[in-house]
Structure 1
Amino acid sequence: MIICGHRGLANQAPENTIAGLMAAHAAGLSWVEIDVQLSQDKHLVLFHDQRLGRCTNGSGTLREHTWQQLKQLDAGLWFSRQFTDERIPLLSDYLTQAFELNIQVNIELKLYPKDEVHELCTQVSQVLAALFSQGKSMPKQLLFSSFEPQTLVLLQQLVPTVPRALLVEQIPKDWQAQLQQLGCEALHCAHAALTPARAAAIIEAGFKVSCYTVNKQSRADQLASLGVHMIFSDKPLKALPSAEHQAPNMDAR
């Protein structure tokens, strides 16, 4: 089972920052999850919330600020003085650093009211096209996820080589039909929503199942015993389950 650092490694460094990426690398993680959204002038930046106040010294919504304004904000002091002057990164800069560290990235596309789905997906595809031109092997190092099915539809059209996962909180009754229709390889759900029977059904149907946000080793081991492919964690949990809870080889399915 894979341990994926949530928003970098959110209890070790400010979320969605280069410092968080470095913390995940220091913890020996091979995957991180990040959130991306568009600035007012269509720059792709890493940020989770709609509003700036929780994780920066700014105010108002991110979408009403330009990149020039956003890059001036302190995105680290709220977490700790150690991270004073940490900045909101551009997706392109973050991915370049992640690939240099050989870290794979789950990009969650964030959409809030009045955000335009096609605009967001188009900008993501353009950023990746620029990185492709530099000879990077994107499909093996990236995964897209979103709560918004239309985002996954557009990404399949624009960047078909990168795998996709549907994000849900509660697992819907028609999960299999949705995954098949969207062409997704995985379902990402809240860990409390996953029962042993549902995990077995998803895996038997040929899909991967991953869970967020798991911060206790005991729960990680339980999920590994169910065959969960990956968990998202704020903490550097053990990357492998205990011997009595070895997960099956998901890549062989």
Structure 2
Amino acid sequence: MKLAGHRGLAGIAPENTLAGVHQAAKHNIGWVEVDVQLSQDGVPVIIHDETVNRCSNGSGSVRELSWQQLQQLDFGSWFAEQYQQERIPNLSQLLACCKELALKLNLEIKLYPEDDIKRLVQTVADTLAQSAFAADQLIISSFSHEALLQCQEMMPSIRRGHLWEGIPDDWAEQLSEIDAFSVHCDYQRLTQIQAAAIKRAGYELYTYTPNDPTTVAKHWQWGVDMMISDNAHLY
């Protein structure tokens, strides 16, 4: 049974922070899933939303804030007082933390309208190369098919996972185009027939975000390989 802490371990620590990654390690969860996008000055930063409004004491779009500006913000107090002044990490810091804690990483390429796909993927590729993060400890995922094609071109040795909410009818063609390793989908949208077909085709199958272990007992039986959960510590 493989588990990944969603956005670090978002059920018990502020999402996409090093505090969350440390909590995942503390609870012996083998994987963490985090999101990466670019700051205004091209630094790959670990954050999910298009803006900093929800998870910090600041406001504005990530793409319009510099790394220095982002570093001034408190990304922890919104969650709990004990995380006051928790900073947003960049990708290099996140990779170093995962290596130190021996955690495997599912890195989601997070894109919004107006984002430069090629620039983000190239920056991620360069950062991964500089960190020498082991390819067998890493999966890159995205909802963007174009981003995954770029990943295939720029870092072919790193495994790719296609993110969907519901599995599309042409899933096999899309997975073939990117030489995918895994399928990542909403557990509530997955059917047993889809799961069986994906497993027959030879792909790993991961679901997000089942936060109550009792809701996915049948999914394990269907062949799901990993649950990506805010509450992975409860499994």
Pairwise TM-score range, normalised by the shorter structure: over 0.9
Match of 1:151, SS state, is helix
Work out whether 1:175 is the aligned partner of 2:197: no
* Cα offset, 1:11, TM superposition: 1.0
Q: Is 1:216 the counterpart of 2:212 in the alignment?
A: yes
2:83 alignment partner in structure 1:
83
Counterparts of residues 192-207 of structure 1 (less than 5 Å): 192-207=188-203
**Shift >6 Å, 4+ stretches:** none
Structure 1 residues 211 and 151, CA gap change in structure 2 (3 angstroms):
same
Aligned pair count?
A: 235
- How far does residue 231 in structure 1 lie from its aligned partner after superposition? 1.0
Q: Equivalent residues in 2 for 1:123-202 (5 A)?
A: 123-132=123-132, 136=133, 138-202=134-198
1:219 CA drift (Å): 2.2
Structure 2: which 5+ runs fail to align? Answer: none
TM-score normalised by L of structure 1 = 0.91
Q: Distance in 1 between matches of 2:232 and 2:192?
A: 25
Partners of 2:126 and 2:178 in 1: CA distance: 22
User: What TM-score do you get using the length of structure 2 for normalisation?
Assistant: 0.98
SS at match of 1:29: coil
Give RMSD over aligned pairs.
1.0
Percent sequence identity over aligned pairs? 43
Q: Tell me the CA shift for residue 185 of structure 1.
A: 1.1
What residue ranges of structure 1 are gaps of 5+ in the alignment?
240-253
Any idea what the Cα deviations from partners look like across 1:93-123, whole Å, max 9, x if unmatched?
A: 1111111111001000111111000000010
User: Take 2:23 and 2:218, find their aligned partners in 1: how far apart are those partners?
Assistant: 25
1:237 is displaced (CA, Å) by 4.3
Hey, what's the Cα distance between the residues in 2 that align with 1:74 and 1:171? 37
Task: State the shift of 1:233 in Å.
Answer: 0.3
Aligned equivalent of 2:55: 55
- Between the aligned partners of 2:207 and 2:179, the Cα distance in structure 1 is 19
After TM superposition, the structure 1 = structure 2 runs for residues 210-249 of structure 1, keeping only pairs within 5 Å, are 210-237=206-233
